[in-house]
Amino acid sequence: MGDIHVLVAVPLSASVRFRENLKQEPQFVVRIATSAEDMFRDLATPQQQTDVVVISQEIGDAFSLIKDIRQSYPRLVIIEVDEDADFSLPGQADEVSNRPFYENELLKLIKRLVEDRQLETLRADALPPVRSFAKTLMRAKGGPAKTQAAVGAIHALGYDYVAFFGIAPTNPPSISVAAQAGLPELTKIAPPRLDYEKSLVGWVAQTGDSKIVGKEDAPNHPFISRGRLGSGACVAVGSTLRFGVIFAAREAPASISQEHLLMMELIASQLASALARESGN
C-alpha cells in the first residue's frame, strides 16, 4: 500500500490534535480543512489526491456534508468523528469514531477501511464482465483497438454513450475523443474535444479521481449539463502514466451507482495495463 491521502475537516481549535495524531503513521499525507467551504474547495482541486475524508461533528451539519460528499465523490472513504457521543451510527459515512485518539482508534480505522476498499476492488476482478473483457483485450491488436474494446465493453453494460478521451502533451494538455460508442444521434453530436481546465474529463485527467455527475454538478460534460443525458461517470485510465479518461452516461438521472463506477474503474485499469505493455512501459 502506498501513501494514503487524508483530508481532515475539523475546527481550527482541534486541528493540531488531529494532525499530531495522524502524522504518527508515515503512510499518511494529511491535509486540514477548518470549514466546509475549505473542504469542498480542497476536494475540487485537481492537483490534490484524496483517499479518505475525516469529518468532525464540530465542523457543523456533518450529516448533510457527508451526504454531499458521498454523492459527488462516491469512491472516497468517509469517517465521521463524534466525540460527544458514546455511540453513533455511521449513516452515509463508512464508519464513526467516538474516541479518535484513544489507542489510535482513528489511525487504525483509516488503515482498515482503505485496506477493505482495496480488497473490495480485488474481489470484483472476478466478475464475469471483467473476465470477458480481459479476453477481448488480449485479442485486440494495437492501442486504438484496445481502447475501442474498452469503450465497447462499458457500452455493453447498459450505457447510452461512452467515450475514451486521449491526452496530448501540449501546453496546456489537450483532450479529445479517440474512441466512442452509443446511439448514432449522440455520437454524431458528441464534442470531439473538451477543455482541460474546465471540463469533467479534464478534472479527472488531472486528479485521477473517479466521479459521478448529474445535471447540476460542476465540472461536467456537455451531455449532462445540458440535459441530453441524465447521469454521467468518469474514470482515469492509468495512474503514474495517464493514457486518457473514459466517460460514460445514461439517459435516466441518478442511474449510475458506486458499483457501476467500480466496474468502470476495473475495465479502465485493465486497459491501462494493456496500453502500458503496448507502449513498452
- Tell me the helices (H) and strands (E) count for the chain, helix number first: 10, 11
For residue range 111-164, list pLDDT tens digits in order. 888 877 766 665 555 567 777 888 888 888 899 999 999 999 999 999 999 999
pLDDT at 91: 72
* CATH for 4-123, options being 3.40.640.10, 3.30.50.10, 3.40.50.2300, 3.40.50.10860: 3.40.50.2300
**Confidence check: pLDDT of 233 > 70:** yes
List where CATH 3.30.450.40 sits in the chain. 127-279
| CB contact at 8 A, 170 and 205 | no
Four-residue CA torsion sign, 187, 199, 177, 135: negative
Confidence of residue 280 (pLDDT cuts 50, 70, 90): low
Q: What is the pLDDT averaged over residues 53-68?
A: 91
**Confidence check: pLDDT of 200 > 80:** yes
pLDDT at 127: 67
pLDDT at 89: 63
Cα 222 to Cα 199: distance, rounded to the nearest angstrom:
9
List where CATH 3.40.50.2300 sits in the chain. 4-123
**Confidence check: pLDDT of 2 > 90:** no
For residue range 79-111, list pLDDT tens digits in order. 999 988 765 566 788 999 999 999 899 999 998
Give the pTM.
Answer: 0.64
For 127-279, CATH gives 3.30.450.40
For residue range 9-33, list pLDDT tens digits in order. 999 999 999 999 999 998 899 999 9
Written as one string, the DSSP assignment of 98-158 is SSTTGGGHHHHHHHHHHHHHHHHHHHHTTSHHHHHHHHHHHH--SHHHHHHHHHHHHHTTT
In this structure, what DSSP letter does residue 254 have? Answer: T
| CB contact at 8 A, 146 and 134 | no
**Confidence check: pLDDT of 55 > 90:** yes
